[in-house]
Amino acid sequence: MACITFVFLCSSLLFIAVKSRPATGPKVFDVQSYGAKGDGKTDNTNAFTKVWKDACAWNGRSRLVYIPKGTFYLGGVTFQGPCKGKISFFIEGTLLAPTNNDDIKKETWINFRYIDYLTVSGGGTINGQGKKSWLLNDCHKNDNCPKLATNMGFDFVKKSRIQGITSLNSKAGHLNFFFVDHFDISGVKITAPGHSPNTDGIKIGLSSNMQISNTHISTGDDCIAILSGNTNFDIYNVTCGPGHGISVGSLGKDKDERKVEGLRVKDTVFTGTTNGLRIKTWESPASSIVISNLVYENIQMINVENPIDINQKYCPYPPCQKLGESHIQIQDVTLKNIWGTSMTKVAVKLQCSKKFPCKDVKLVDINLTHKGIDGPAIAFCQNVEGSASGKMIPPHCLN
């Protein structure tokens, strides 16, 4: 009706809308126009490097690097900015890594660096083909173990996102974040076998204002690892398992570490993981940072070995070097509405530093049960101060 009355106005608005559309859509850079072939064999490293260079340097508002359906074999690549505006990396097909780690020649197979307004999406898969390299991983007994490549890394990337991408069988970690700010991870799927070594799902350092949501992670190491210098994180609707849980740390070995502050984990399910919610620091005075303001809420544990695990005597491969009590201060930790089943008797472990006892740990509505010949679940406390309220299974051990 309104349009009949204002025919002239409506049609001219429509005209403006239609006319302005091509100017706002991104310019598409198709990898195939650069000679890339999705046949699973052709080495597309040069084609991808060139397409990125042209797209990044193109003098317009918004550009999109397009990878269609197909299997694109790709060696190690670095996609570097800054670009002249927003850039999308749109993967419909599969990117296939070299089987041999030496053919990657980089720490990270696909590395994005120094970019603002990057979107990685498209529903496609990055396949790290890690199976053969996992056999080479002997890092638990050899400090000079071969350094295997991470699937995808983001360094110095801001105001950006990755969504709707699958990361498969990485040689080492799946997604690595270093010095990123305002970054959104959603609808991502991360998959590797539970026995694959050091295949952390999402590993983050020196980053801020990150969100991880609607994501499924099954892998051989931490589902999410939050390392030194991370602030303001929101994690919700994440499923983890198999894997080693959502971890802060490990920390405490390195004197240059920075604080971890402001982590919220909500609406998350752990299934068959070795750990659930975990904070791990080494027995060393090297680092004296604070880990604070952590909230874990609405979390289900299904057959998790160690559902709640604050461990300031972290030692994954004994014997570990013990250089003294941890000097890391853990404080302001809320664990609220956490329920399910523990595979071991100690369902709640709060083992803090004697020199720097944990402060202000709040337990609210915990219901973690254990069935075994060793009896029902228990909580274990050491050097921890806090409070408990609501239902409490197992009974808490705070004082």
Ligand X SMILES: *[C@@H]1O[C@H](CO)[C@@H](O)[C@H](O)[C@H]1NC(C)=O
Shortest distance (Å) from residue 266 CB to ligand X: 11
Burial of 144 (0-12, 13-18, 19+ CB in 10 A): exposed
Q: How many CA atoms lie within 13 A of 227 on its CB side?
A: 16
Q: Does 391 bind ligand X (CB under 6 A)?
A: yes
The rounded distance, in Å, linking the Cα atoms of 277 and 293 is 14
Q: Does 369 bind ligand X (CB under 6 A)?
A: yes
Please identify, among the stretches 33-41, 154-162, 214-222, 256-264, the one whose residues bind ligand X according to the rule CB under 6 A.
214-222
Q: Does 237 bind ligand X (CB under 6 A)?
A: yes
Smaller CB distance to ligand X: residue 82 or 390?
390
Q: Does 119 bind ligand X (CB under 6 A)?
A: no
Q: Which of residues 209, 214, 288, 337 is near ligand X by CB under 6 A?
A: 214
Please identify, among the stretches 51-59, 74-82, 208-216, 322-330, the one whose residues bind ligand X according to the rule CB under 6 A.
208-216
Interface mask toward ligand X for 68-107; x: CB under 6 A: ----------------------------------------
Smaller CB distance to ligand X: residue 185 or 251?
185
Smaller CB distance to ligand X: residue 75 or 201?
201
Q: Which of residues 80, 367, 382, 383 is near ligand X by CB under 6 A?
A: 367
Please identify, among the stretches 89-97, 103-111, 154-162, 209-217, the one whose residues bind ligand X according to the rule CB under 6 A.
209-217
List 244, 327, 370, 396, catalytic entry: 244
Active site residue 216: no
Q: Does 396 bind ligand X (CB under 6 A)?
A: no
CB atoms within 10 A of CB 149: 27
Smaller CB distance to ligand X: residue 214 or 271?
214
Smaller CB distance to ligand X: residue 111 or 268?
268
Please identify, among the stretches 117-125, 176-184, 211-219, 313-321, the one whose residues bind ligand X according to the rule CB under 6 A.
211-219
Give the number of residues written for the chain.
399
The rounded distance, in Å, linking the Cα atoms of 334 and 372 is 28
Nearest to 237 by CA among 222, 224, 220, 221: 224
Q: Which of residues 254-283 bind ligand X (CB under 6 A)?
A: none
Shortest distance (Å) from residue 340 CB to ligand X: 7
Residue indicated by tokens 């595979």 = 343
Smaller CB distance to ligand X: residue 80 or 214?
214
Smaller CB distance to ligand X: residue 43 or 365?
365
Nearest to 170 by CA among 130, 134, 223, 138: 130
Interface mask toward ligand X for 170-199; x: CB under 6 A: ------------------------------
Q: Which of residues 322-341 bind ligand X (CB under 6 A)?
A: 339
Q: Which of residues 216, 244, 278, 396 is near ligand X by CB under 6 A?
A: 216
Count of residues interacting with ligand X (CB under 6 A): 10
Q: Please report, as ranges, the residues that interact with ligand X according to CB under 6 A.
A: 214-216, 237, 239, 339, 367, 369, 391, 393
Q: Annotated catalytic sites, by residue? A: 244
